[in-house]
A and B are shown apart, each in its own frame.
Chain A
Amino acid sequence: MKKKILLIIVSLVWLNGNAQDIVKESKPVYLGIDLTKGLTSYVFADKYFIRNTVIVEPYVRFASKNPLRYWVLSGGFAKGTSKIDTTQISQSQKFKGLYIKLAFENQYQRVPLRFGYGPIISFSGFRGKYTFKGPTYGDYTGDFKDDQNFAFGAEIYLAYDYILNKKLVLRFQARTTIAIRMSGNISPDYFPGVGITKDLNSFLVSPGLSAQLFFKVH
């Protein structure tokens, strides 16, 4: 388990190192932030899959020698609660997690879209309560804690960049993330870095739409 984590971290560091080499030789560099992931749970309140969830996902985007290719490095933090589902024994979960993503991005020549793919690792924890209904003797409520979850996988996406001005770029993105969970017991409602994963256990898959704002710094 430790070896696997180490291997992934070393690969990311290596990739990051290579990315930095590219930066030295080429331009530009963009800093970005996700605009939608953190807001949706507040805007739609209980109608959305997650509630009161803070998701911070910043990006650094480097151009490579080839002007059609980019590297995108990002990290993220998510902390929140899943939607209440009264049909379940465990009606809601609290989750917290940190994740790192790297993407290799290519721009299509004929259509104004970018295709990206790359690895993701996520460390997450889940807490909550479960209740067994007791019509005769009263309900039984217990606590659960599943703090050490580790998952690794890959994310692929299609993005459309809308250029606002010389410095700012608004990006619309459609993505799918797949990941394998190496540790943990509870079936997660939302796995930080992966997305909505209700009723999934070892193999996690989640699609999503988002918007990001990029600022040219170099």
Chain B
Amino acid sequence: MKIIFLLILSALLLNGCIDCGPQQELTIQLSIQAFPDTLLLKKITSPGAIDQSVFEEQTKNYSSKSYYAGSFDFTLPISLNADSTTYIFEFENRTDTLSLFYSRDFFHKDGCGFVVDAKRPASLTETKSTFKDVYVDYQSYILDGKVPVFGIKDGQGITVLVSL
């Protein structure tokens, strides 16, 4: 009896799950390349946001928490009501803006219900920015096919790398 139970369990685990993605307001991973103690970020704001608290949380004590391999990492939400989101970065001695463009995709996925994804925009413009360099990587937020039961992660989504 135990063996049958173990066989069924291992079959289920090997078979994997369907990835539904975040099914909520999507976020991007933004990395600002800078040396420690040189990034004097005061605050991030976003025009059009009805609640700025997530930006305040991200910038609070950012230098002690989010420095990794030469860049400061932030998790910022994107608007599901528009095909672009603008962020304003206020530093000690300068202010930069970044407008990120994307195309939203809402659809029904079997086993998940309604899901949301954001992809590369149809137009050639990916960003408008005052930063020196901006690089955007568009990956789906939802993984295709079956994914392992353990260590399950959604798709990588959009990542942005900027340098001052």
Contacts and interface: CB of A to CB of B under 8 A. Distances in A.
Contacts of B46: 136-137
A130 B106 contact: yes
B25 A89 contact: no
Contacts, number: 65
A112 interface: no
A133 B50 CA distance: 13
Nearest to A137: B79
Contacts of A133: 24-25
B48 A89 contact: no
Contacts of A89: 23, 113-114
Interface string A109-144: 000000000000000000000101111111110101
Interface residues of B, number: 23
A140 B82 CA distance: 10
A201 B110 CA distance: 8
Summarize B's interface: helix, strand, loop or mixed: loop
A90 B25 contact: no
Interface of B: 23-25, 46, 48-51, 54, 77-82, 85, 106, 108, 110-111, 113-114, 116
A201 B81 contact: no
A132 B27 CA distance: 13
A75 B111 CA distance: 31
A90 B80 contact: no
A130 B23 CA distance: 11
Nearest to A140: B80
A137 B77 contact: yes
A134 B79 contact: yes
